[in-house]
Chain A
């Protein structure tokens, strides 16, 4: 029982982590809640569905194409919606609201084009997982965990070792100073959207391969990402990963004795506790109410 619970938690953590790292990166550099990130996640899955199930492309090709388009979708958000808004001095709240509107539109577009029924990206019969350390884990689930670990590490290395990463951290820590130091903030922000959205799209595809997909899948995934980022601490990639782990474990072990339908509620209770008592999360910067 315990090994399976742990495995399930790790798989969930992997998915959350991919969403959270992307979301957290965008939040760190732009300082607002890009709710439409959830729509990018869902569109990743559905674009892959379009390419693989409808157009018949091989999975790796279809998936890669979908990821690229998601990166483009993220870039489109930045270029068409957020950048003009920011140029007019929009507050984080205004950006959040616009993002919510964008999410609603995109989710409904999925419903319109693909229908509301549950779909799947899986091609074959549902197979029993491979036995690993006392739990059963399917290959795709291993991919999820592997992708999460590898990509999170890759993003972390990007931030620490590359010039782009340095610029991202500069914009995240002190936008005014970054600007004065010659960092092209707009380019950096665009890069975070491209990278973060690609991660989200990939996450959506992997989850759709593992379980199934519905038009509303993005909202839930997004919220788990938000919780992970807040719990782990905004502005920190290891924090997002840590938050994802904590959240997944809290959910899976929390419902051990109660029905799993309360998982969402648990996630949000955890979120509220952190917002009330430790809004900077475990590893993040302070975000309490503005003082004089």
Chain B
């Protein structure tokens, strides 16, 4: 039972990560492999504030969100200058730089050893520590994130994002400040990913840089692609599929390192297969092709 709840909590966190990346990559068409960096910034800011200054979660989460939004805005900058595949390389660079800071600035982040002993979140007297409690908390936040993405997508804001994705020259000719939208969508997406990071930190109570690597970013982008870029339900579906299916490997009795490799092979293969046969994903709208 605890295992099942654990999986559901993980799915919840990945739904948050996928929805937020979907806003950036699926709606605005800005493919990014820096998402794990935003996730990590959120986790580390929350963890550091909670560990070092006993800051309560209703303050650490906003702080984490703001920090990640700032990093997100920075990552958007190259998008204003270079073509989309060069931009992916730029996001890769940001991802590695952030990872480097997490891994090497030992005095601040604990380096490779990470930050153990993160206190359980305490919401005005109510401490969340059981699996059930975290399940509720995670899914509350996931619903909130999904709601925010839904409202933004349906609003004129979302329409401009889609226009940017399809033809930003046309959007600019209609008076849209393309640069401003790109920075904003990145800031918002990063902010939401940070929420996922906070949840992760409070749930596992231990974070280290290995959870926030390029591979993790690639995993998150696989979720968005498999589920379907530009679709809210697609992002959620992708999260469920890509978290659940590899778990089936555990029951086959393989040693855990082998299972870890097979899991990565699984989503790597998914990425290839979907790009070849169905780039719009299971139920998506955008297939990363420009007319």
Interface residues of chain A, those whose CB is within 8 Å of chain B, are 32-33, 81, 84-85, 89-94, 96-98, 100-105, 107-109, 111-112, 116, 219, 223, 226, 230, 259, 261-262, 264-265, 268-269, 271-272, 275-276, 279, 287-292
Interface size class of B (residues with CB under 8 A): 35 or more
Q: Does B257 contact A (CB under 8 A)?
A: yes
| Per-residue interface assignment for chain B, residues 200 to 242, with 1 indicating a CB less than 8 Å from any chain A CB and 0 otherwise | 0000000000000011001001100100000000000000000
Q: Does B93 contact A (CB under 8 A)?
A: yes
> How many A-B contacts at CB < 8 Å in the complex?
144
Q: Is the interface of A mostly helix, strand, loop or mixed?
A: helix
| Per-residue interface assignment for chain B, residues 23 to 41, with 1 indicating a CB less than 8 Å from any chain A CB and 0 otherwise | 0000000010100000000
- A93-B88, A265-B101, A275-B81 are contacts. A116–B289 as well, Cβ < 8 Å? no
CB–CB A269/B271 < 8 A: no
Interface residues of chain B, those whose CB is within 8 Å of chain A, are 31, 33, 77-78, 80-86, 88-90, 92-94, 96-97, 100-101, 103-104, 169, 214-215, 218, 221-222, 225, 257-258, 261-262, 264-265, 267-272, 275-276, 279, 287-290
CB distance from B74 to the nearest CB of A (A): 10
CB–CB B269/A101 < 8 A: yes
**CB-defined contacts of B268 to chain A, threshold 8 Å:** 100-105, 108
CB–CB A93/B81 < 8 A: no
CB–CB A94/B90 < 8 A: no
CB distance from A88 to the nearest CB of B (A): 8
Q: Is the interface of B mostly helix, strand, loop or mixed?
A: helix
CB–CB B89/A101 < 8 A: no
Top 3 closest A-B pairs, CB basis?
Answer: A101-B271, A104-B268, A268-B93
- A89-B289, A289-B83, A290-B83 are contacts. A101–B270 as well, Cβ < 8 Å? yes
A261 to B289, CA, bound (A): 39
| Residue in B33, B169, B276 whose CB lies within 8 Å of A85 | B276
Instruction: List 9 A-B pairs, Cβ < 8 Å.
Output: A33-B88, A105-B268, A105-B272, A268-B96, A268-B97, A269-B93, A279-B86, A287-B86, A290-B169
- A90-B275, A101-B275, A265-B96 are contacts. A226–B82 as well, Cβ < 8 Å? no
- A85-B275, A112-B261, A275-B89 are contacts. A288–B288 as well, Cβ < 8 Å? no
- A272-B90, A275-B90 are contacts. A97–B169 as well, Cβ < 8 Å? no
A98 to B272, CA, bound (A): 5
- A94-B275, A111-B261, A271-B90 are contacts. A292–B85 as well, Cβ < 8 Å? no
